[in-house]
Amino acid sequence: MTLGLTTLAETMEKAAEGLIRGAKKRYVNRPRNEPGFGLVRQEAHGRTMRYTVHSYATDRPETERGTR
Q: For residue 6, give every residue at least 6 positions away whose Cβ sits within 8 Å of its Cβ, in sequence order, or none.
A: 14
| Cα gap 35→31, rounded to integer Å | 10
Q: Is residue 67 over pLDDT 60?
A: no
Residue range of the domain that includes 66: 35-68
Is 26 domain-assigned? Answer: no
Determine the average pLDDT of the residues in 21-37.
Answer: 70
Is 17 domain-assigned? Answer: no
φ, ψ of residue 59 in degrees (nearest 5): -75, -20
Is 63 domain-assigned? Answer: yes
Confidence at residue 1, expressed as pLDDT on a 0 to 100 scale: 46
Question: How many structural domains is the chain composed of?
Answer: 1
Is 45 domain-assigned? Answer: yes
Average pLDDT of every residue of the chain: 77
pLDDT tens digits for range 37-64: 899 999 999 999 999 999 888 888 877 7
Is 64 domain-assigned? Answer: yes
